[in-house]
Amino acid sequence: MSQSFNPTPRTLMGPGPSDVHPRVLSALGRPTIGHLDPEFVSMMDEVKGLLQYAFQTKNELTIPVSAPGSAGMETCFVNLIEPGDKVVVCQNGVFGGRMKENVERIGATAIMVEDEWGKPVDPQKVEDALKANPDAKAVAFVHAETSTGACSDVKTLCALAHKHNCVTIVDTVTSLGGSELRVDDWGVDAVYSGSQKCLSCTPGISPVSFNERAIEIIKNRKTKVQSWFMDLNLVMGYWGANTKRAYHHTAPINALYALHEALVMLKEEGLENAWQRHMHNHLALRAGLEAMGLSFIVEEKYRLPQLNSVTIPDGVEEVKVRAQLLKEFNLEIGAGLGALAGKVWRVGLMGYSSRAENILLCLSALEAVLSELGANINTGVAIAAAQKQLSG
């Protein structure tokens, strides 16, 4: 006989999902009601307003896509890009590569602007690509590269794109709620994010937002959006203001209760306070890791507070360390991806995971496991260094 599934509670300090706040988990268990029920519809309106706050935008078309961050990415690309278009795609980690894949599957051309993994997108290279391709329609890039921990300059890149008459598509999956993001002030035209990183929510929902410039492009398409599910012209009939809420698909009702709760919590904390909390905790983790003798691969001024890529001590089998952290401490940290596989650990401090007790657990567990494996680290100093920073 099959039994109920009861996972062991873990502390999630990888690249996402992050720890889900208990308030969000309990929201998931509330009674399921119909997705056209007036009570649900008014909650949908609140979710839109709360997302506008999180994104710092007045965009009317600000909605949660009923699928994970990757679907938000695809929603942006399939609606804005048509076969034959040219898109400048910036790649400085894993996710820029996915953007390229999206562009090419549409039958459009990706002009790649590549930077080393761990470095931000270089605006000069973007400008060069735009000058060499005056017919480009869009510029796409990742704000917070989760595969490396590097942060790119959204405001500068958007200004460049607009100077060359391009619309911007920006990945903010890991930045939303964790580091400064101002969609309207920074001129972001189309943006997508995810529920499971700095919003402390369960995975599976992708907030997106489109401004007037983006909507104009979508309205003037020559071809139909090839994805029925993601076609915003149809989705708008369900989520749009002053529409009759025509049935499009069944919304993930309980998952949206969870997102609503997570966004209410963000509002209660205050967006800028949330950004500050992520930075404050990052500095404490950093103090501890550096005291131990580990170092960061991203230059300080481009470092993301919510994703810490750190070096692995010489001679240590990194897979073994992560397995032991999980087994002995129920603690998950992330492995390196792509070009950084085997070279770094990625320690996430996202959303509800970004708190003092997690930092102290991570430092003491890592120290215990590394010592046990005979790694050459400084012992007995990490916790004090972190605590000093935490209380400072």
Binding site for ligand PLP (CB under 6 A): 16, 68-70, 95, 142, 146, 171, 173-174, 194, 203
Nearer to ligand PLP, 203 or 237 (CB): 203
Residue 190 CA, chain-centre distance (Å), reads 15
Q: Are 345 and 310 in contact (CB under 8 A)?
A: yes
User: Rounded to the nearest whole angstrom, what is the least distance from the CB of residue 110 to ligand PLP in the complex?
Assistant: 16
C-alpha 170/C-alpha 159 separation (Å) is 13
CB of 246 to ligand PLP, least distance (A): 27
Residue 360 CB, nearest approach to ligand PLP (Å): 25
**Longest pairwise C-alpha distance within the chain:** 65
Q: Closest distance between ligand PLP and the C-beta of residue 350, in Å?
A: 10
By Cβ distance, which residue is nearest to ligand PLP? 69
| Nearest CB to ligand PLP, comparing residues 171 and 261 | 171
**Closest approach of ligand PLP to the CB of residue 173, in Å:** 4
What is the closest distance, in whole angstroms, from the C-beta atom of residue 169 to ligand PLP in the complex?
12
DSSP letter for each residue of 169-238: EEE-TTTTTTS---TTTTT-SEEE--SSSTT---SS-EEEEE-HHHHHHHHT-SS--S-TTT-HHHHHHH
Nearest CB to ligand PLP, comparing residues 332 and 367: 332
- Looking up tokens 């209380």 gives 391
Comparing CB distances to ligand PLP, the nearer of 68 and 313 is: 68
**What is the closest distance, in whole angstroms, from the C-beta atom of residue 16 to ligand PLP in the complex?**
5
Residue type, 335: A
- Do the beta carbons of residue 147 and residue 117 sit within 8 Å? yes
Q: Which is nearer to ligand PLP, 62 or 196 (CB)?
A: 196
Closest separation between CB of residue 241 and ligand PLP, Å? 27
The smaller minimum CB distance to ligand PLP, of residues 174 and 200, is found at 174
Category of 64 on φ-ψ map: left (φ > 0), alpha (ψ -120 to 50) or beta: beta
| Amino acid making up residue 147 | S
Residue 197 vs 322, nearer CB to ligand PLP = 197
* Chain centroid, CA 126 distance in Å: 22
**Tokens representing 85?**
């278009």
Q: Are 16 and 347 in contact (CB under 8 A)?
A: no
Helix (H, G, I), strand (E, B) or coil at 310: strand
| Beta strands 150-151; 144-145: pairing state | antiparallel
Of the pair 95, 186, the CB lying nearest ligand PLP is at 95
Give the torsion sign (CA, 123, 128, 132, 134): positive
Q: Radius of gyration over alpha carbons of the chain, in Å?
A: 21
Give the DSSP letter of residue 49: H
User: Which CB atom, from 106 or from 382, has the smaller least distance to ligand PLP?
Assistant: 106
C-beta of 171 vs 367, nearer to ligand PLP: 171
The two three-digit tokens of residue 256, written as one number = 């949206």
Q: To the nearest whole angstrom, how small is the minimum distance from the Cβ of residue 141 to ligand PLP?
A: 10
Residue type, 312: I
Burial 274-288 (b: 16+ CB within 10 A, else e): bbebbbbbbbbbbbb
Residue 320 Cβ vs ligand PLP, minimum distance, rounded to whole Å: 25
